[in-house]
Amino acid sequence: MSVSADFLPEFDSEMASTRRTLERIPEDKLAWKPHEKSMLLGRLAGHIAELPGMGVLVLKDDALDFTKRPAGELGSKPTIAESQKHVVDLLDKNVAALRPLIASASDEHWAGKWKLSMGEKTFYEGSRMGAMRRMVLNHVIHHRAQLGVYLRLNGVAVPSVYGPSADEGR
């Protein structure tokens, strides 16, 4: 089985869970955060929705240096949710752009090198698949879990992800 064929079912499952979570964000709490050092709920939701767009860069380019990205490109201005629809539509757009690139990537392409940096500071340097897992998929999962806590603290039912949640699937 190819790397892409092995990875796609996991990607699809995680993106579906992510979409279900973003569909729950309370639109009247977008400026809420659980702690002064935490992201606003709207910023966290926006970040989750924009992350699959980074996967496009992982598959199209050999590196991303945050100091050299043009205005209007990924991460040049943080996405802050304006509504549930805003972030769900952005997630859908980014997933739709990324999925065919995953499906068509050869095993050799996945094994190729990729680097994430900000000038001289390197955040990741390794295989393209390692970048996709660590900087995209695991990153989405990490922040989705944070968003689950935000939802719980605001009395919003947390969707089932890997099995029943305390709110669903009993």
pLDDT above 70 for 163: yes
pLDDT above 70 for 70: no
* Per-residue pLDDT at 78: 85
pLDDT, mean of residues 51-59: 95
Give me the residues paired with residue 126 across strands: 114
In the block, tokens 């879990």 appear at 145
pLDDT category at 168 given cuts 50, 70, 90 is confident
How far is 161 from 144, CA to CA, in rounded Å?
10
Give me the residues paired with residue 127 across strands: 113
How far is 131 from 19, CA to CA, in rounded Å?
22
* Per-residue pLDDT at 71: 60
**What are the tokens at 164?**
């029943």
Q: Are 94 and 102 in contact (CB under 8 A)?
A: no
pLDDT, mean of residues 67-86: 79
pTM of the model: 0.94
Q: Phi/psi class of residue 167: alpha, beta or left (left: φ > 0; alpha: ψ in -120 to 50)?
A: alpha
* Per-residue pLDDT at 77: 77
91-147 per-position pLDDT tens digit? 999 999 999 999 999 999 999 999 999 999 999 999 999 999 999 999 999 999 999
3-51 per-position pLDDT tens digit? 999 999 999 999 999 999 999 999 999 999 999 999 999 999 999 999 9
